[in-house]
Amino acid sequence: MFKHLFKLIWNKKKQNSLLIVEILLSFMVLFAVFAFGINSYRNYVKPIGINYEHVWVINYNNSLKTQNSDSLTLFYEGLLRNIKAMPQVIDAGYSSSNVPFSTSHTNNTISANGKEVPSVNQFSGDINYINVLGAKMQAGRWYNKEDFASKQNITVINNALKEKIFGNTDAVGKYLNYGDDKTHSKTKIIGVLNDIKFNGDYQRAEVSMYNRLDTGAYHWLTSILVKVDPKADAAFESRLYKLMANALKNSNIELEHLPNKLVAYNKFTLVPLIVMSIVAAFLIINVALGIFGVLWYNINKRRGEIGLRRAIGASGNSVSSQLVAEALIVATFSLIIGAFFAVQFPLLNVFDLPASVYLLALALAILFIYILVLICSLYPGKQAAAIYPAVALHEE
Amino acid sequence: MISLQNIEKVYRTTNIETLALNNINLDIAKGEFLSIMGPSGCGKSTLLNIMGLLDAPSKGQIKIADQTTGNLSDKQLAKFRNQKLGFIFQSYHLINDLQVLDNVELPLLYRDTTAKERRQLASEALEKVGLSNRMKHFPTQLSGGQRQRVAIARAIVGRPEIILADEPTGNLDSAMGNEIMDILINLNKNDGTTIIMVTHDEHMAQKTHRLVRLFDGSQVL
Ligand SMILES: Nc1ncnc2c1ncn2[C@@H]1O[C@H](COP(=O)(O)OP(=O)(O)OP(=O)(O)O)[C@@H](O)[C@H]1O
Ligand SMILES: [Mg+2]
């Protein structure tokens, strides 16, 4: 019977082509939504890598007249001491402006171990950085006071970058290079920091480097991270603000809370998923109506055939299951074509997502389409079963 | 072979009641070739549908091959039609999207058969109606007479004991009609198939064993 139905559909491929294209299209959109969704979920369940609660960001700009590095160092070290001295402050430290959950990014190509890694995120933080953020070293150490004054080329990388370059082997003590020079590596890796999802809950931790701040850094630094007591309130916030404003006259001072920044960033990353889901929902409704309509139309056009089948030995149920089976076979045509396109994504590594994400999305999309087609064909199939053979045979 | 007792058929639509068959009593012997005649609308097709178990009478009993059919389920009726009955229609009712051979195989799909058996039986049936050389054609590529021969091949492929034909020559000119008639006569003679045929053609009816005339739902001969 299967071969028979296949033949029937194959001979009618022209009539079925619109439906095949429609199912194919919604399959592709579903596949994209599922892949995106699964990937977001898999990122979501991974730890974020920092403790962002009660961490504030002070943004300022350097409004001091002096350009002397020693004076700058003296001033900003004093400022940080004053902030730390406030009773509600647990810890504080300087950071490059690309603090977690901010939209500013700095990238660089680096080379090491004979490999080149493009787009490595570049962060800078002082000796307090990981303590303020609650990040953890996985190997080696973070920077200390001596590093600040020294001239040696040292760096800290995150776990994702370590795995990309060194795999399972140790990275501490090895060297890397800025740029694409793979041979003369000069910068020594002193530590591996845990992965931090600085692009929010739904995006993975990207490969990253944490660079040493030196004595010249105060010329360009514009952010201070402050870990405050849970009891820190608005009154404290305004005192902190005043302290900054008094110290840095004519500077734009801005205070942000990392938890708020995370919420904002998450919204930003979820928008495409939501838009895609809405598009998919519309398409699916369209396809559902399409399948329903085509089957309905087919049944009315095929009343004679249905009557004949009843006459030569088909029961009402077998007529209805035949129509459902035909719809599923048509869907199978679409899914075969769709799957061919879908497997190109992991094969060509289009979006740098793990293959398992694509495969799971593929399986879900196929399942979804089959269930959709099944549901849409059940009712028309039932209607077909109810056709009176004597009447249907009489009509032509 | 077929026994009809006090058959009555009433069609009810919203405000009209049509008495399509009125107290029909008919016994058809095994191997008989019976024709049914009567003016349009007198109930010929209705009677044939009831004999073919495609429609249930409003009253009365039908026995086919010693089987009372009144309380068979939809599935049992379907199986019964498949094994005991073959149908031929005025408008052929071939599936245009299937080749001739596949059309003829159709009844066998509703039985336990292998693809090879189906192929074998369908080829034999087509040979009987003289269409072995058209197996890969589509119905639309055939003449009316050829199409009706395909329909006959489909009706006989399952070796039914009874063939029900509703104006099988109605759409054909007399030459092609005679050809079809000859095939039916041969089937009746050589294979002993019981045939009930509705016709408008006196000439065709003359060639059968017995003629039943209907008028306004009642049997007049
Ligand atoms: N499904 C139906 N619903 C209502 N009335 C019907 C139905 N089928 C047939 N009839 C009526 O029953 C009567 C007998 O119809 P039937 O089709 O058996 O006639 P017929 O003898 O085969 O006519 P023809 O020679 O034109 O084919 C007609 O009056 C017809 O209108
Ligand atoms: Mg009729």
Q: What is the pLDDT of residue B160?
A: 94
Q: Distance, CA B164 to ligand 1 centroid (Å)?
A: 17
Nearest-atom number in ligand 1 for the CA of B13 is 4
Q: Which one-letter DSSP state was computed for residue A128?
A: T
Could you give phi then psi for residue A146, rounded to 5 degrees?
A: -65, -35
Q: Which one-letter DSSP state was computed for residue A211?
A: E
H-helix segments, chain A? 2-11, 13-44, 69-85, 129-133, 145-149, 159-166, 234-247, 258-301, 303-311, 316-342, 344-348, 355-385, 389-395
Among A2, A308, A295, CA closest to B95 = A308
Range of the domain at B56: 2-219
In a structure prediction context, what are the per-residue pLDDT tens digits for chain B, which is 221 residues long? 899 999 999 998 888 898 999 999 999 999 999 999 999 999 999 999 999 999 999 999 999 988 888 889 999 999 999 999 999 999 999 999 999 999 999 999 999 999 999 999 999 999 989 999 999 999 999 999 999 999 999 999 999 999 999 999 988 898 889 999 999 999 999 999 999 999 999 999 999 999 999 999 999 87
Verify whether the Cβ–Cβ distance A317 to B83 is below 8 Å. Answer: no
Whether the complex's predicted ipTM is more than 0.90 is answered with yes
Here the CATH number for the domain that contains residue B38 is 3.40.50.300
> pLDDT (tens digit, 9 = 90+) per residue, A267-307?
988 898 899 889 889 888 988 888 888 878 888 888 999 99
User: How far apart are the CA of A266 and the nearest CA of chain B, in angstroms?
Assistant: 55
**Which of A16, A312, A382 has the most B C-beta neighbours within 10 Å, making it the best mutation to test the interface with B?**
A312
Q: Which residues of A touch B95 (CB under 8 A)?
A: 8, 305, 308
The rounded radius of gyration (Å) of the Cα atoms in chain B is 17
Verify whether the Cβ–Cβ distance A388 to B55 is below 8 Å. Answer: yes
Verify whether the Cβ–Cβ distance A313 to B83 is below 8 Å. Answer: yes
A289 lines ligand 1 (CB under 6 A): no
User: For B54, which residue in chain A has the nearest alpha carbon?
Assistant: A390
Verify whether the Cβ–Cβ distance B110 to A390 is below 8 Å. Answer: no
Q: What is the pLDDT of residue A183?
A: 67
Q: To which residue do tokens 């879900």 refer?
A: A364
> pLDDT (tens digit, 9 = 90+) per residue, A79-98?
999 999 999 999 999 999 99
User: Could you tell me which residues come within 8 angstroms of residue B77 by beta carbon, excluding any fewer than 6 positions away?
Assistant: A315, B53, B69
User: For B91, which residue in chain A has the nearest alpha carbon?
Assistant: A396
Q: What is the pLDDT of residue B188?
A: 95
Q: Which one-letter DSSP state was computed for residue A276?
A: H
Domains in chain B, number: 1
Verify whether the Cβ–Cβ distance A308 to B95 is below 8 Å. Answer: yes
Q: Which residues of B touch A390 (CB under 8 A)?
A: 46, 49, 54-55
Q: To which residue do tokens 């497997």 refer?
A: A343
Closest CB from B46, B97, B107 relative to A313: B107
Q: Which residue has its alpha carbon closest to ligand 1 atom 24?
A: B40
Nearest-atom number in ligand 1 for the CA of B9 is 12
Q: Which residue has its alpha carbon closest to ligand 1 atom 1?
A: A391
B44 lines ligand 1 (CB under 6 A): yes
User: How far apart are the CA of A318 and the nearest CA of chain B, in angstroms?
Assistant: 9
Q: Which residue has its alpha carbon closest to ligand 1 atom 27?
A: B40
Interchain CB contact of A329 with B (< 8 Å): no
Closest CB from B49, B82, B111 relative to A390: B49
Q: Distance, CA B49 to ligand 2 centroid (Å)?
A: 10
Q: Which residues of A touch B83 (CB under 8 A)?
A: 313
Among A251, A265, A313, CA closest to A98 = A265
Pairing of strands B162-166, B85-89: parallel
Q: What is the pLDDT of residue B134?
A: 92
In the sheet that holds B59-64, the strands lie side by side as B17-28, B2-12, B59-64, B67-68
User: For A301, which residue in chain B has the nearest alpha carbon?
Assistant: B95
State which residues of chain A have pLDDT below 70: 182-185, 396
